[in-house]
Amino acid sequence: MRRTLARGCLGSAALVVALILSATAFVYVQAKRALTGRPVYVALGSSFAAGPALGSLQSGSPLLCARTEGNYPRRLARLLRLPLVDRSCGGATTAHALRGGQFFQPPQVDAVNRETRLVTVTVGGNDVGYVGDLSLLAARRSDGPFGWAVRRFWSGPAELRDYARLRAELVALIRAARARAPAARIVVATYPAILPPRGTCARLGLAADEVASMRAVAARLAATTRAAAAEGGATLVDMDAIGAAHHACAAVPWTKGEARLLDAPFHPTAAGAEATARAIAAALKGSPAAVPAVGEDDAAGHQAGRVRR
């Protein structure tokens, strides 16, 4: 009996190890696939750029990055008629964008080269635990094993958040992109507003004091991003300000409130992704330099038009 039980335990352990190794190999192989497409426009960032739950995954996207066809880089590429290499990835930090290591992937900024004419950057929320803490605050009120686990093992929102380090890393990312593509326009977009200016709402699944605490984090994140864009000499598209009336509690929200995990809680809606793409396109049209617009005849080496920026 004991031998049978031992063999069963060993078999189960071997199965678990095999599953872990298989999953790791799958993630590794996905991360090492060669980039496709021309990097005339390169998108860098976290899930707020990758656009989880905004349609089907992009061809070639690592599964864990949740990089979708409905995200704002895809929409912007269509508006400007630019070939896109999208390196955004859910869960990314500035360190991942600069130095790599996320799911075995190289630095996101490595996709930028001398051909690049436009780089967009939306990253930083994961550096300071912004959306992660929002999600865990909502989850700990829920029933079921996940809510129980959050209540049991999560000690609460971070007490200290290193905004100085975030600013330095964002500036370093901007400068790294510029060093790789001196002729490129670099656009930094802040995270769109999630929380209302006052109070709370049922859609958030958070108490008023929780929202007030996280509202301060959102404000510092946006201010830090603005400062980094100015210091690095990048164009700022301030979606936190532009979308102030389209928070998750608004009649026309650009971000979600509490939702099922696979629906990407506290992330941009399709309307939010579209608004971000159009805001960036408008900022480029209103600036003195130019981003080439590539038409269908680009394969023959012809430029179809130009978008003023």
The token pair that represents 226 in the structure block? 């603005």
The token pair that represents 175 in the structure block? 């400068």
Q: Does one domain contain both 93 and 177?
A: yes
Question: 264: how many CB neighbours lie within 10 A of its CB?
Answer: 24
Burial 211-221 (b: 16+ CB within 10 A, else e): beebbebbeeb
Q: What is the pTM of this model?
A: 0.84
Q: Does one domain contain both 148 and 235?
A: yes
Q: Does one domain contain both 27 and 118?
A: no
Angle at which helices 144-153 and 130-139 cross, to 10°: 120
Please tell me the distance from the alpha carbon of residue 265 to that of residue 184, in angstroms, as a whole number.
33
Q: Does one domain contain both 110 and 226?
A: yes
Please tell me the distance from the alpha carbon of residue 51 to that of residue 88, in angstroms, as a whole number.
9
Q: Does one domain contain both 17 and 110?
A: no
Q: Does one domain contain both 153 and 201?
A: yes
Give, for all 309 residues of the chain, the pLDDT tens digit. Answer: 555 655 555 555 555 555 444 444 444 444 455 566 799 999 999 999 999 999 999 988 888 899 999 999 999 999 999 999 999 999 999 999 999 878 769 999 999 999 999 999 999 999 999 999 999 999 998 888 878 898 988 988 888 999 999 999 999 999 999 999 999 999 999 999 999 999 999 999 999 999 999 999 999 999 999 999 999 999 999 999 999 999 999 999 999 999 887 899 999 999 999 999 999 999 998 765 657 655 433 433 333 333 333
Q: Does one domain contain both 280 and 254?
A: yes
Burial 228-262 (b: 16+ CB within 10 A, else e): bbeebebbbbbbbebbeebbbbbeebbbbbbbeee
Total domains in the fold of the chain: 2
Q: Which residues span the domain enclosing 74? A: 37-308
Q: Does one domain contain both 125 and 231?
A: yes
Q: Does one domain contain both 226 and 296?
A: yes
Q: Does one domain contain both 65 and 106?
A: yes
CATH number at residue 170: 3.40.50.1110
Q: Does one domain contain both 159 and 193?
A: yes
